Each structure stands twice: as C-alpha cells, then as structure tokens.
Amino acid sequence: MDEIQIYTTFPNIPPENLENFKKLVSQAVAITKDDDETLRYDYFLSDNGTKCVSPHAHVNSEALLAHIGKVGELLGPMVELGGGVEVVVLGDPSAELLEATAAFEATVYAHLDGK
C-alpha cells in the first residue's frame, strides 16, 4: 500500500487564537487545491471551536513530503495557535518521511489488511 493517510489534531485552540488559526487553514487549503497527489485534505473544527482535526491522504510518502514542503511554513504557527499537535500516520511511510516528521513524534500504524 503506497497511500499514506495522516490525521493531524490541534488539541487546544484558545478562543483568542481561533480566527488566526482559521486564516492559516484557509491558506494551507488554497496551497494544495490543485495538487493531484493530495487525495484528501480537510479540516474539521469541534463544536466549541477548541479542537481541530485534519485528515489527509497522499498517493505515497514522496507526495506527503512534497505537501509538507508546500505548507511547511504554515505548520509552525498552526501548532502554536492550536495548542500543540498530535499526528497519526496510517500506511507504510518511507524512511525519509519518518525522518522528516520525527519531531512530531507521530504514532504510525502500518497497513495490516483491507480493501
């Protein structure tokens, strides 16, 4: 399985940071709008606006690395405004991807079986 899925959670968005966080989300989505190797890129906000989950999927590890290169400058401010970040990786990421994302201490789940 080449496809890599990521679930990025910003766990604690203070009310005073929400509008700036939303602006960064809009910028990140605009950057990836025409990227054919990004299969999914969404953001979901909790009812009370304090938590955001971003599921996204990429055709392979290289595509995710390219995506990180495009939106990377926004990620630091998003982590700061979002009260940190929790990352879950689904799939079989390349060694390069694991190295590039090591600072996020992602939880990785290798593909076991499925359709």
Tell me if 45 is assigned to some domain: yes
Structure tokens at 79: 């982590």
Tens of each residue's pLDDT in the chain, 115 residues: 699 999 999 999 999 999 999 999 999 999 999 999 999 999 999 999 999 999 999 999 999 999 999 999 999 999 999 999 999 999 999 999 999 989 999 999 999 998 8
Structure tokens at 12: 């604690």
Q: What is the pTM of this model?
A: 0.92
Helices (H) and strands (E) in the chain, counts: 3, 6
Q: Which domain holds residue 20?
A: 4-109
Tell me if 114 is assigned to some domain: no
Tell me if 68 is assigned to some domain: yes
Tell me if 91 is assigned to some domain: yes
Tell me if 115 is assigned to some domain: no
3-state secondary structure of 107: strand
Residue 115, pLDDT score: 83
Pairing of strands 107-109, 86-90: parallel
Residue 68, pLDDT score: 94
Pairing of strands 52-58, 38-41: antiparallel
Residues facing residue 54 across a β-bridge: 8
Q: Nearest 10 degrees: CA dihedral of 14, 17, 22, 27?
A: -130
Total of domains in the chain? 1
Alpha-carbon gap, residue 78 to 13, rounded angstroms: 10
CATH number for the domain harbouring residue 73: 3.30.70.100
